[in-house]
Structure 1
């Protein structure tokens, strides 16, 4: 039997019946479709998404529709939704052709870099080419089949263009396969020519039957597990680095059991923060260029690093200066490319399953007690640094330091609340200082560190919280630079009655890049917001937030800020949005670690500050490691080819 539908109608109906299952729990995968309509999708996907009833009635059709204000912003919201759902749910985003489609590129890059699923459905120019060039069509002298949507190819985990209805079923199956695969997921793009969207076709009814995609928990290969266990048993100063894979695989309990059984301390990446509560005896906090003194000290001393679900970004490795030259690595990751980084003994497996098997294999072994005790002592010392920073007096000229703001917000929120941030100086301060108490309580996008993610990300988290009926409040921390780039999805949050607490930090410029500019000798050039005469800009961000429909509060003291957050939390639980506007000093420093980040400095310069920065850069650069260690001997005594039986290969 067949069903006659347009391509767009068939696509929507297919998405509405896709499910995922993991650990016996089955749930609908596509949670909705964001969209902004134009001539490239209004008659195709717009008609397919239309529910029965008046067009302005907020009811669901085959697939829930959500209206956004900015295409990039709604991709961010969709990605944040998927992250909070541990990649077990995703959203689609539809746009018109032209600028609507190219606005997706930044969000697509963010999704793919962070390994988070989102389905992009941009309109495309006519497949039949009846009257080219049509409005917003790119005429390429190198090929008639090129459109602006090809800009999405390098930032997509999968890309296809549907030129005929017959191509749709296989494309949908491939697209969904990639989206649900934790090792391959990212942005998936199906470009949809506007005439093809509206074309009717007779579809097999099997295309619209419920389909369940099973998300596996692959086990480590036994020989690889034995090699990893042998390395662990030989270690004297091991350290775990917990990445986002721990959170997404629900491996936090397995990690806790592993750490408690073995006594190995646990450091966390940005995506992995929350893998252990901040006050767990084995937790030593953030690792790398934005790390704590505790974690970075242990990393420099470690003889074995156990990376779990981390892709080892340059911030995590402090541009490969964080670890000793002779450190060895065991990497547990569901993605083979990440598991093999840093010449590691690779365990290509699910994080939870891998940790459980490692724990079972090490039930009679533990790290030396002096190493465990030292790690706990370092973590306590760092927490005292955090407490002191949070309690520091305000600047003499008034206002707040950023550290004070973070401390007040941390104190006024509940353990399950979700702090959301992405760019500027706050992600670094949050990584080092935020006391995370819940596995989903920390949502900082630092794979792409995209300015403008914050408010849209909070919206996505809020929708996920509502869909899961969780008792959480998204708390967005956003600087003035990010706010000015993309705050429009605050209007969407208000329209959808998704309650947010937004703490808007006004420091009149780019605080993070300003500090970086000073460190490389360019004296904060181009990082301050200023009028043409050099004075401050007459910009009132509090009034701007109020004009978007939010309640706005402007506290002047820490006590007023703490109370404002508590009141805003209560309002958010009723679906209302509050913006708390605070003025901070961009030059006030926060507790830091000695870790480094590789940002090249001018090799020659007329500026003394740049010459001094170059000398420091060269000294730091000399400590950079490649970690090209030969593979470790097999624990079995497997014979080398051409050698005696039982001989192990030489080890450098």
Structure 2
């Protein structure tokens, strides 16, 4: 067989095995492959997929995408919903086809989510040299554009000879299935090598199982953590994505209920506890709730579970103001367990650690004063969100109202998807999550354009989940006009496959998030609006608004579109449109709901901070005022968390 045929056959026989709570789960690691074909892979991977499809379509199903970056996003969305048990492979041609995947690789690795990338490369033999789309470096002729994947991947290899395929694939999948190391795995395939013959050992093509490691905590670590918790008066749990990936939501609830310790969650950790649980304070940090941030400021012990402590979570190291605060960091990845000088790192599975800690703590419970404060702060924030959701603005609604209407109209098991702009922050603090799988906001890389492609990946996972006898879910993508314009290509993919993906497109004629940030930094929303160029002043800030009609754009792609008109009934009309979309059959194809909003109506404050430097020298009064505010916040910033 050819090298490419061996790749396809090998990947079709790989399985993940995962043991959780005494039950064992086994599923295909690579259930399919995306690809856009060019001269680099059409005769290699393309031929192999065609041959495989002809023999047995179920061996390695091929899915056609419209953009290589978006295909990686689909793989990541699928991986997130399957809790890293499965992902897709993505094949691309030489040159621009491959480099289009670079952003997707960075996103996968930053989010610690598996994606298998198979970029094609220039001739290993150099028989054709320089080949079309080859990057020539006079000081290093063995470098190709694919070397750009090295810093963006958790594993990178180049198969320059057929015999290298075995170690490349085995090592790549070892990393792909490792909870502590996973991310983008990139295996570069020169176009001539893909088509070369290889005599593959039979054992290489046999079914292979990759067991997901769930390491137990050290006994001494449990003892020390239990002692620290028992001595704490105002402890707080920060739940990150690791709680979800380790299937530890029930154990987290049991631990919190046994001890009375409240829980705040990161963007990746939304869903680790239902929003209305008595001990759930909601989001924490720069895009958090006032409830979580108030408790965090006074906490004397932080128990981080599966969080990487990015700057939004810590309020750029200003969230924790108790001078004696200590940190217990529970994480399967050592880099996160030891983050920011943690005094008590525990490198272990979140689920197993919570079970052990609950047993070790015995009768420990927080005091009545903290319990009362939790209730009061939770009540205060819920009233704030109720007001934000229910206050009506006309003719254009606020984004708060749109989020509230979408939240109310979705089913309990449905999934909301988002990634970049002002929406992620507003969703984080206000979305009332009811199901552990109900919230997917990509906020590690915050990649504009992820939303529709990532949402399609999630929808594929929910369809597979339902086909296997699991829950049926609608997937609702919330996206602003800026991100929509960045990448809406996979709507065509959803049309082609008749996949019902619901998209709520919020049109605010610009970049609302950066506009608000620019204003807060004294730059007066510079360059963030969609307007005609004022040639006299060379400004995009004062001209007439551009006549953009994104609803018509979506219709031109074959998408069913529901237009919400501005006016008194805009929120009622939006709720009706979402319910109508949810009632449509699964083979309806994508449905886009278009609604305009007022970008100047802000969400409730988190009473937190995010470190974005302000110019220390300026002729603008607005910048000078912003710099004074910035320096006031910097005083509260801790050098380490401790």
Please say whether Structure 1 and Structure 2 have the same fold, judged by a TM-score greater than 0.5: yes
TM-score for the superposition, normalised by structure 1: 0.94
Report the equivalent of 1:540: 549
Q: SS of the residue aligned with 1:290?
A: coil
Aligned partners of 2:156, 2:381: CA distance in 1, in Å?
46
Report the equivalent of 1:267: 264
Using the TM superposition, give the Cα deviation of residue 52 of structure 1 relative to its aligned residue in structure 2, in angstroms: 6.0
Question: Quick check: 1:246 aligned with 2:208?
Answer: no
Kindly provide the CA deviation profile for residues 315-334 of structure 1, in whole angstroms up to 9, marking residues without a partner as x: 00000000023210000000
Aligned partners of 1:561, 1:459: CA distance in 2, in Å?
22
Q: SS of the residue aligned with 2:210?
A: strand
Question: Quick check: 1:439 aligned with 2:417?
Answer: no
Question: Quick check: 1:502 aligned with 2:500?
Answer: no
Contact 1:329 1:342 (8 Å CA) reproduced: no
Contact 1:490 1:548 (8 Å CA) reproduced: yes
Using the TM superposition, give the Cα deviation of residue 572 of structure 1 relative to its aligned residue in structure 2, in angstroms: 5.7
Q: SS of the residue aligned with 2:612?
A: coil
Report the equivalent of 1:367: 366
Using the TM superposition, give the Cα deviation of residue 573 of structure 1 relative to its aligned residue in structure 2, in angstroms: 3.3
Question: Quick check: 1:468 aligned with 2:465?
Answer: yes
Report the equivalent of 2:208: 211
Report the equivalent of 1:643: none
Question: Quick check: 1:156 aligned with 2:165?
Answer: no
Report the equivalent of 1:329: 327
Contact 1:420 1:444 (8 Å CA) reproduced: yes
Report the equivalent of 2:310: 313
Question: Quick check: 1:8 aligned with 2:4?
Answer: yes
Contact 1:271 1:443 (8 Å CA) reproduced: yes
Q: How many residues align?
A: 620
Report the equivalent of 1:125: 122
Aligned partners of 2:585, 2:67: CA distance in 1, in Å?
23
Report the equivalent of 1:590: 603
Using the TM superposition, give the Cα deviation of residue 53 of structure 1 relative to its aligned residue in structure 2, in angstroms: 6.7
Q: Structure 2 matches for 1:548-559, cutoff 5 A?
A: 548-556=557-565, 557-559=570-572
TM-score for the superposition, normalised by structure 2: 0.95
Report the equivalent of 1:40: 40
Report the equivalent of 1:409: 406
Q: SS of the residue aligned with 1:101?
A: helix
Report the equivalent of 2:452: 455
The one of 20, 23, 26 equivalent to 2:16 is 20
Contact 1:249 1:351 (8 Å CA) reproduced: yes
Contact 1:498 1:572 (8 Å CA) reproduced: no
Q: Structure 2 matches for 1:331-350, cutoff 5 A?
A: 331-344=329-342, 345-350=344-349
Report the equivalent of 1:648: none
Using the TM superposition, give the Cα deviation of residue 384 of structure 1 relative to its aligned residue in structure 2, in angstroms: 1.4
Aligned partners of 1:351, 1:52: CA distance in 2, in Å?
40
Using the TM superposition, give the Cα deviation of residue 216 of structure 1 relative to its aligned residue in structure 2, in angstroms: 2.2
Aligned partners of 1:426, 1:192: CA distance in 2, in Å?
39
Dislocated runs of 4+, deviation >4 Å = 51-55
Q: SS of the residue aligned with 2:455?
A: helix
Cα distance change of structure 1 residues 67 and 417 upon mapping to structure 2, 3 Å threshold: same
Q: SS of the residue aligned with 1:197?
A: helix
Report the equivalent of 2:640: 627
Aligned partners of 2:585, 2:151: CA distance in 1, in Å?
38
Cα distance change of structure 1 residues 575 and 463 upon mapping to structure 2, 3 Å threshold: farther
Using the TM superposition, give the Cα deviation of residue 31 of structure 1 relative to its aligned residue in structure 2, in angstroms: 1.5
Aligned partners of 1:200, 1:285: CA distance in 2, in Å?
56
Aligned partners of 2:71, 2:553: CA distance in 1, in Å?
20
Cα distance change of structure 1 residues 60 and 380 upon mapping to structure 2, 3 Å threshold: farther
The one of 82, 107, 111 equivalent to 1:110 is 107
Q: SS of the residue aligned with 1:201?
A: coil
Aligned partners of 1:52, 1:437: CA distance in 2, in Å?
42
Kindly provide the CA deviation profile for residues 270-310 of structure 1, in whole angstroms up to 9, marking residues without a partner as x: 00001000001110000000000000000001000000000
Using the TM superposition, give the Cα deviation of residue 61 of structure 1 relative to its aligned residue in structure 2, in angstroms: 5.2
Aligned partners of 1:495, 1:453: CA distance in 2, in Å?
19
The one of 217, 223, 226 equivalent to 1:226 is 223
Q: SS of the residue aligned with 1:66?
A: strand
Contact 1:452 1:485 (8 Å CA) reproduced: yes
Aligned partners of 1:464, 1:512: CA distance in 2, in Å?
30
Cα distance change of structure 1 residues 71 and 52 upon mapping to structure 2, 3 Å threshold: closer
Contact 1:521 1:613 (8 Å CA) reproduced: yes
In structure 2, stretches of 5+ residues that fail to align are 535-542
Contact 2:327 2:641 (8 Å CA) reproduced: no
Contact 2:52 2:60 (8 Å CA) reproduced: no
Using the TM superposition, give the Cα deviation of residue 503 of structure 1 relative to its aligned residue in structure 2, in angstroms: 0.4
Contact 2:146 2:188 (8 Å CA) reproduced: yes
Using the TM superposition, give the Cα deviation of residue 364 of structure 1 relative to its aligned residue in structure 2, in angstroms: 1.5
Using the TM superposition, give the Cα deviation of residue 388 of structure 1 relative to its aligned residue in structure 2, in angstroms: 1.2
Kindly provide the CA deviation profile for residues 103-141 of structure 1, in whole angstroms up to 9, marking residues without a partner as x: 000000000000000000000000000121110000011
Question: Quick check: 1:576 aligned with 2:573?
Answer: no
Using the TM superposition, give the Cα deviation of residue 362 of structure 1 relative to its aligned residue in structure 2, in angstroms: 1.1
Kindly provide the CA deviation profile for residues 16-75 of structure 1, in whole angstroms up to 9, marking residues without a partner as x: 1111111111111112111101110010000111156779xxx83521111000011111
Aligned partners of 2:170, 2:38: CA distance in 1, in Å?
27
Cα distance change of structure 1 residues 12 and 294 upon mapping to structure 2, 3 Å threshold: same
Question: Quick check: 1:388 aligned with 2:384?
Answer: no
Kindly provide the CA deviation profile for residues 164-198 of structure 1, in whole angstroms up to 9, marking residues without a partner as x: 01101111110000000000000000000000000
Contact 2:237 2:305 (8 Å CA) reproduced: yes
The one of 621, 630, 637 equivalent to 1:617 is 630
Aligned partners of 2:269, 2:585: CA distance in 1, in Å?
26
